[in-house]
Amino acid sequence: MRHDWTVDEIEKLFELPFNDLLFKAQQCHRAHFDANTVQLSTLLSIKTGGCPEDCKYCPQSVHHGTGLERELLMKKEEVVAAARRAREKGATRFCIGAAWREPKGRAFELVLDMVREIKAMGLEVCATLGMLDADQAQRLKEAGLDYYNHNLDTDPEFYGEIITTRTYEDRLNTLRHVRDAGMSICCGGIVGMGESRRHRAGLIAQLARMQPHPESVPINMLVKVPGTPLAAADELDAFEFVRTIAVARITMPASWVRLSAGREQMSEELQALCFLAGANSIFYGEKLLTTGNPEADRDRRLFERLGLQPYREPTPSSRRMVNAVD
């Protein structure tokens, strides 16, 4: 497994003829995974809106007038009931998200309780709660958290255009704490924010240079939410999105690459191309955090039409598929 990718090399992958790029991605995918299996994670926003950070893409920031209704931290019983429904529908991982800069005080204790209960249901548990210190990461691990999601979002050189209230270094520090605590990392980014291809290559280089690679790599297509500064961002060419997935697959061949936000706005044919490019994980269930996602029934029908199988087993915290070598 390589961890020394340069931005130039990755940009060259982006420049390949589409068919050559997809062929290469398929080869990598098939060397490490069953190419017809897709992992399903269900998201739940346990604390919505009112976030002090200024991420330009995000409907939950207090800095943007999106009209989103703020909600307090959900009760554990409601969260556990949602996790049970997700499990019944076939998800193997439940991911709880909170619109916080970082977790604090009693709210953090309540989240630890939620993690324990969801874990006891036989689901994998993921959380995305903002920045963590070393002690918080350790406590989440002890509560049974399998994955922590914390995205780099974009290239370090473009980052300042998107977020000013938290640095790239802050993000890398949180990821370090998650790794040191022994949890798996879910880390990716967003495309379609007006960044260049070079910036997309730069984001993938940051991820692919991590050692080990993040076990899960969400590639989000910007969801343009009215009221956010990026609401009128130019549409990204759909093939460029597929290329980004393919490049993530080639550079991080044994990671789960997630076709993440933006599926509701995509045709099923485009989603099929993403699976062909090596995406093997999705968010499953009618809602992401605050925006929509395809209905579960619709995804099940799509899987049937494509002969895709949901991955049935929880994927424990280390790398886990056929032939994976690191």
**Contact status, residue 165 vs residue 53, Cβ threshold 8 Å:** yes
Task: Give the span between the Cα atoms of 310 and 276, in whole angstroms.
Answer: 15
Task: Give the span between the Cα atoms of 323 and 326, in whole angstroms.
Answer: 10
Which CB, 130 or 278, lies closer to ligand SF4? 130
Task: Give the span between the Cα atoms of 106 and 75, in whole angstroms.
Answer: 13
As separate numbers, helices (DSSP H) first and strands (DSSP E) second, the chain gives 11, 10
Site string for ligand DTB, 67-106 (x = CB under 6 A): ------------------------------x---------
CB within 8 Å of 303: residues ≥ 6 apart = 38, 309, 310
| CA–CA distances in Å: residue 7 to residues 173, 199, 249 | 22, 9, 15
- Give min distance, CB of 325 to ligand DTB, in A: 27
Of 21-29, 70-78, 288-296, 297-305, which segment contacts ligand DTB by CB under 6 A? 288-296
Structure tokens at 19: 């068919």
From the list ligand SAM, ligand DTB, ligand SF4, none, partner contacted by residue 153 (C-beta under 5 to 8 A by kind): ligand SAM
Which CB, 59 or 253, lies closer to ligand DTB? 59
Q: Does 59 bind ligand DTB (CB under 6 A)?
A: yes
| CA–CA distances in Å: residue 201 to residues 17, 50, 109 | 16, 32, 39
Residue of 171, 258, 263, 319 with catalytic role: 258
Task: Give the span between the Cα atoms of 58 and 74, in whole angstroms.
Answer: 20
Is 274 among the residues known to form the active site? no
Centre a 10 Å sphere on the Cβ of residue 248 and count the other Cβ atoms it contains.
29
From the list ligand DTB, ligand SAM, ligand SF4, none, partner contacted by residue 61 (C-beta under 5 to 8 A by kind): ligand SF4
Is 95 among the residues known to form the active site? yes
Structure tokens at 131: 């920045």
Q: Does 294 bind ligand DTB (CB under 6 A)?
A: no
From the list ligand SF4, ligand SAM, ligand DTB, none, partner contacted by residue 150 (C-beta under 5 to 8 A by kind): ligand SAM
Max Cα separation, the chain?
A: 53
From the list ligand DTB, ligand SF4, ligand SAM, none, partner contacted by residue 222 (C-beta under 5 to 8 A by kind): ligand SAM
- Strand bridging mode 216-221 / 189-191: parallel
Is 28 among the residues known to form the active site? no
Of 5-13, 30-38, 83-91, 217-225, which segment contacts ligand DTB by CB under 6 A? 217-225
**Contact status, residue 294 vs residue 264, Cβ threshold 8 Å:** yes
Is 187 among the residues known to form the active site? no
Binding ligand SF4 (rule: CB under 6 A), the pick from 11, 53, 215, 299 is: 53
Binding residues for ligand SF4, rule: CB under 6 A, are 51, 53, 55, 58, 60-61, 99, 130
- Active-site residue set: 51, 55, 58, 95, 126, 186, 258
Binding residues for ligand DTB, rule: CB under 6 A, are 43, 59, 97, 128, 149, 151, 188, 218, 220, 223, 260-261, 288-291
